[in-house]
């Protein structure tokens, strides 16, 4: 790498590619350093399915409208106010245009399959999923003349007084391990794959976490930036964590290990005790809380227990449920105390009140006289075979990140904007997402701030 680039992009996911394309389109020379090998390029973006964008009217792919105001309200709700309002509103406003911009970069949206019924209102789906989307972005970047290197992990950054000078590569490229560039866009994701780092905040429990996405997001870039004076944002224990199948691989199991059967049954811990209201809210909305709930249980394991009457009510699963003709047999297979599980289920069944079941609304099927209660969709578990899924916390992504402004420019401790460093995507998601999660917002953050970061970096470099 003897050549000096205008813009150096570290990372290879949605945020990085949007930045690279936008910088290149603004006339800059661009180098992308992706730490992963080619097949694993694109980090967690490979595993995504959709993106949340505001729009004022229905389109071919979306029923509408989903106004900026409504998007903002949804964000406020999930974050409980832990969001930078100015940045968040800016992102939401920009998201409108992203719907079209991303198509101009070759990404295709999935048209409606069975008439308007299957259309979403808030989220657009990538045709073929996140990897298809990434492939399109890479094709476009290559056609535009962006240089891309794989297996190009950055191990160090030279930064002086808030000014990026060069990046150090783990392996030499053309005999050199140092890459110099006029500006930097950091888009290297979060640190969810760095178990040691997670342990600093979660303790030993983190050993039992499963990482749903790429093993390459180890947060090394984030750590270097914070160590070199970039302002930090967000809480290191806040992350998007769901309950996923305990039989899933440690890393990269992706979307297919999830379970959405909680509302149809009960969830017990390794002592066969229930610990939270399974009927608190509509599943997609409360989906993200179960990772944390399970993380707080002994040995970070729990079991979703239901019976044969509901097996076809939720998405087919990768791993089959564990089955027993009696509660005791099921308990045996799960290595739970049979008497304790029988007691929990008997007490639960006795507490179930009559009602009209409807899993699409907060219905009136609830329990009375037990703690925790199940406030909706409570039905007796009594028709064998009894079934269970073992679940563990599955970490999706972390929120601790670098502080940025509306130009996606990093802010240094003390508030001074960096001379030439920008950040986009998961590495700065904490600015918008202090906690909680609204489906599809990870892609919005990456695309909006990636596009801005690329444009601004190009402008900065060519000044």
Partner 1 sequence: MHGTRILQEADRLMTVCNSCRYCEGLCAVFPAMEMRRAFSDGDLNYLANLCHACGACYTDCQFSPPHEFNVNVPKTLAIARAESYAAYAWPRALAGAFARNGLVISLIAALSVATFIFGFAAANDPGVLYGIHTGPGAFYQLMPHNAMALLFGLAFLYAILALAMGVRAFWRDIGEPVGMTTDRKALLQAIRDAGELRYLDGGGVGCFNEDDRPTDRRKLYHHFTFYGFALCFAATCVGTLYHYLLAREAPYAWWDLPVVLGTLGGLGLVVGPIGLLSQKWKRDRVLVDEQRMGMDTAFIMMLLLTSITGLALLLWRETGAMGPLLALHLGVVFALFITMPYGKFVHGIYRFVALVRYARERRMMEHS
Ligand X SMILES: Cc1cc2nc3c(=O)[nH]c(=O)nc-3n(C[C@H](O)[C@H](O)[C@H](O)COP(=O)(O)OP(=O)(O)OC[C@H]3O[C@@H](n4cnc5c(N)ncnc54)[C@H](O)[C@@H]3O)c2cc1C
Question: Pattern of binders to partner 1 over 221-260, x per CB under 8 A?
Answer: ----------------------------x--x-xxx----
- Collapsing DSSP to helix, strand or coil, 402 comes out as strand
**In whole angstroms, how close is the CB of 41 to ligand X at the nearest point?**
6
Among 135, 168, 208, 346, binds partner 1 (CB under 8 A): 135
Question: Pattern of binders to partner 1 over 45-84, x per CB under 8 A?
Answer: -xx-x-----------------------------------
Q: DSSP letters along 23-75, please?
A: HHHTT--EEEE-SS-GGGTTGGGGG--EEE--BSS--SSB-S-B-HHHHHHHH
Residue 212 touching ligand X (CB under 6 A): yes
Among 317, 346, 349, 407, binds partner 1 (CB under 8 A): 317
Helix 441-461 vs helix 85-104: angle between axes, to the nearest 10 degrees? 90
Question: Pattern of binders to ligand X over 41-70, x per CB under 6 A?
Answer: xxxxx-xxxxx-------------------
The CA distance from 421 to 185, in Å, is 6
Q: What angle do CA 304, 308, 313 make, to 5 degrees?
A: 75
**In whole angstroms, how close is the CB of 1 to ligand X at the nearest point?**
14
The CA distance from 216 to 188, in Å, is 9
Residues 409, 142, 61, 114, CA torsion sign: negative
Residue 148 touching ligand X (CB under 6 A): no
Nearby residues of 172 by Cβ (< 8 Å), 6 or more positions away:
none
Residue appearing with tokens 């229905």: 58
Residue placing its CB nearer to ligand X in the complex, 34 or 456: 34
**In whole angstroms, how close is the CB of 263 to partner 1 at the nearest point?**
18
Residue 125 touching partner 1 (CB under 8 A): yes
The enclosing H or E element of 100 equals helix 85-104
Residue 426 touching ligand X (CB under 6 A): yes
3-state helix, strand, coil in the chain (%, to 5): 35, 25, 40
Residue 127 touching partner 1 (CB under 8 A): yes
Residue 34 touching ligand X (CB under 6 A): yes
Residues that bind ligand X in the complex, under the rule CB under 6 A: 10-16, 33-36, 41-45, 47-51, 153-154, 187-189, 212-214, 216-218, 220-221, 254-255, 396-397, 425-426, 440-443, 446
């Amino acid at each position: 790498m003897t050549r000096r680039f205008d813009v150096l992009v570290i990372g290879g996911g949605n945020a990085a590619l949007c930045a690279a394309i936008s910088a290149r389109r603004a006339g800059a020379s661009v180098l992308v350093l992706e730490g992963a090998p080619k097949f694993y390029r694109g980090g967690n973006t490979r595993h995504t399915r959709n993106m949340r964008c505001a729009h004022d009217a229905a389109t071919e792919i979306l029923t509408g409208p989903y106004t900026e105001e409504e998007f903002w309200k949804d964000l406020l709700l999930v974050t409980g106010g832990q969001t930078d309002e100015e940045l968040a509103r800016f992102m939401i406003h920009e998201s409108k245009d992203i719907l079209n911009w991303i198509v101009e970069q070759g990404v295709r949206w999935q048209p409606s399959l069975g008439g308007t019924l299957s259309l979403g209102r808030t989220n657009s789906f990538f045709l073929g999923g996140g990897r298809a989307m990434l492939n399109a972005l890479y094709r476009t970047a290559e056609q535009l003349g962006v240089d891309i290197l794989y297996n190009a992990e950055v191990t160090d950054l030279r930064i002086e007084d808030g000014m990026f000078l060069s990046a150090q590569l783990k392996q030499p490229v053309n005999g050199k391990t140092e890459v110099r560039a006029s500006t930097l866009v950091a888009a290297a994701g979060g640190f969810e794959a760095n178990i040691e780092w997670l342990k600093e905040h979660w303790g030993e429990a983190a050993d039992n976490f499963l990482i749903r996405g790429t093993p390459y997001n180890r947060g090394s870039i984030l750590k270097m930036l914070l160590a070199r004076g970039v302002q930090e944002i967000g809480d290191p224990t806040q992350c998007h964590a769901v309950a996923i199948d305990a039989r899933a691989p440690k890393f990269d199991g992706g979307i297919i290990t999830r379970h959405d059967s909680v509302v149809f049954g009960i969830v017990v811990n390794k002592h066969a005790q229930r610990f939270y209201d399974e009927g608190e809210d509509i599943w997609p909305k409360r989906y993200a809380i179960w990772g944390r709930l399970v993380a707080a249980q002994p040995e970070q394991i729990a079991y979703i227990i239901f019976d044969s009457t509901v097996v076809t009510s939720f998405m087919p699963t990768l791993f089959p449920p564990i089955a027993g003709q009696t509660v005791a047999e099921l308990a045996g297979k799960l290595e739970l105390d049979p008497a304790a599980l029988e007691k929990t289920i008997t007490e639960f069944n006795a507490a179930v009140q009559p009602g009209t079941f409807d899993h699409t609304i907060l219905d009136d099927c609830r329990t009375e006289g037990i703690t925790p209660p199940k406030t909706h969709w409570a039905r007796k578990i009594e028709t064998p075979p009894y079934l269970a899924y073992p679940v563990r916390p599955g970490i999706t992504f972390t929120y601790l990140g670098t502080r940025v402004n509306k130009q996606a420019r990093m802010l240094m401790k003390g508030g001074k904007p960096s001379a030439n460093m920008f950040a986009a995507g998961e590495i700065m998601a904490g600015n918008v997402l202090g906690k909680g999660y609204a489906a599809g917002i990870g892609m919005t953050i990456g695309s909006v701030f990636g596009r801005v970061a690329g444009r601004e970096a190009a402008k900065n470099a060519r000044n």
